Amino acid sequence: GAVVSQHPSRVICKSGTSVKIECRSLDFQATTMFWYRQFPKQSLMLMATSNEGSKATYEQGVEKDKFLINHASLTLSTLTVTSAHPEDSSFYICSAIGRSNEKLFFGSGTQLSVL
Amino acid sequence: AQSVTQPDIHITVSEGASLELRCNYSYGATPYLFWYVQSPGQGLQLLLKYFSGDTLVQGIKGFEAEFKRSQSSFNLRKPSVHWSDAAEYFCAVYGQNFVFGPGTRLSVLP
């Protein structure tokens, strides 16, 4: 089946630094990618939707200057958490849809801890 | 390591029939459990979740799920399926991290 690779799986960084998370579709072309965030004991929260070659669409309340999303190719989307703060510590997961537009495939997630 | 299995890749039911989608998980403790639905070309919508308490959980759109610790299962049910329920359904588990099952596609016959 289709595979989505997300990297890194875990990152610890200092407050004020930026962190980049990569999401790659390994064997299909991902026309749309979704980025989610999950707080402890809660469900996933959709942060943004990105279509290849165009700007991401952010959900209400998500700071687009804080969470930079780039979907420059059909196999790669990146989420950059800029000037990270402890409140940005969370679990981030990406998912992708291919040209068949039928099914989501999920990355394995990234646990971000900001000290 | 935790894992989630959904044994049925594709299920077809007639409209009005009952539905059960299976989900089994592997985790050392009791995890948080979720069911999501994905309509074609769209993102996820949360149907229901289990954190603790009553093991029978009610969700949106008439869905319910039952947590059975002895079977490590969290099966999703609906007594009467509607054509609009045709979608992809994902079971997810949160223990150490968030893990999704591979999904079950539901087709509904008129």
The enclosing H or E element of A41 equals: none
Interface of B with A in 24-83 (CB under 8 A): 32, 34, 36, 38, 40-41, 43-44, 46, 49, 51
Q: Quick count: other Cβ atoms within 10 Å of Cβ B56?
A: 11
Q: For residue B11, what pLDDT is reported?
A: 96
Residue in B41, B51, B100 closest to A97 by CB: B41
Q: For residue A40, what pLDDT is reported?
A: 73
Which of these, B67, B6, B15, B66, lies nearest to B37 by C-alpha position? B6
Which residue in chain A is spatially nearest to B35 when comparing CA positions? A43
**Best residue in B88, B100, B105, B106 for a mutation probing chain A (most A CBs within 10 Å):** B100
Q: For residue B63, what pLDDT is reported?
A: 97
Q: For residue A1, what pLDDT is reported?
A: 60
Q: Given a cut of 90, is residue A105 above it in pLDDT?
A: no
Q: Given a cut of 70, is residue A101 above it in pLDDT?
A: no
Strand, helix or coil at B61?
helix
| Rounded Cα gap, residues B1 and B32, in angstroms | 15
- CB proximity A90 to B under 8 Å: no
B20-62 pLDDT, tens digit each: 999 999 988 888 899 999 877 677 888 999 988 899 999 999 9
| Rounded Cα gap, residues B47 and B42, in angstroms | 15
Residue at token pair 């994902």: B90
pLDDT over 90 percentage in chain A: 54
- Which DSSP string corresponds to B83-104? GGG-EEEEEEEESSSEEE---E
Instruction: Give the mean model confidence (pLDDT) for residues A30-58.
Output: 85
| Rounded Cα gap, residues A101 and B87, in angstroms | 12
